[in-house]
Amino acid sequence: MIKLFSLVALCTSLYSAQLQPRPYALVQKEIGKGQVVMVEAGSTMCQACQEMGELLYREMEINPKRKIFFVNVGKERDAARAMKIQMIPTQIVYDAQGGEIDRHIGGFTTDGLKHFLAKHKI
């Protein structure tokens, strides 16, 4: 019983250390407002998406002013269609005017994510 409780506590603490989902309608309002925005399209049920959520959470802790959002396309199917998501996780970068400037499909390593964010000045 104690081992099960420890496992549940560990899973709960890992989940809370992830970038939390934001409704796509709210994320859309942030795109094109003069700052580069990155949208992580994924699902809370996807292992690679959970790993990306942890990496993005850590990056947001380093610089909370970044415009990085997670949209749970597992629950928001209309958002998946609107963003033309074919696989998850997918990272989409929008320029300051709201135009899509880059798209990456799949997860990143810590260094790969840092390079991607630096490349786009996020």
Domains and CATH numbers, the chain: 2-119 (3.40.30.10)
Q: How confident is the model at residue 16 (pLDDT cuts 50, 70, 90)?
A: low
Amino acid 21: pLDDT:
96
Q: Is the pLDDT of residue 79 over 70?
A: yes
Indicate the pTM of the whole model.
0.85
Is the previous residue joined to 64 through a cis bond, with omega within 30 degrees of 0? no
Distance of CA 33 to the CA centre of its chain: 19
**38-62 pLDDT tens trace:** 999 999 999 999 999 999 999 999 9
- Residues 119, 104: Cα–Cα separation, whole Å: 13
The stretch 61-84 carries a mean pLDDT of 97
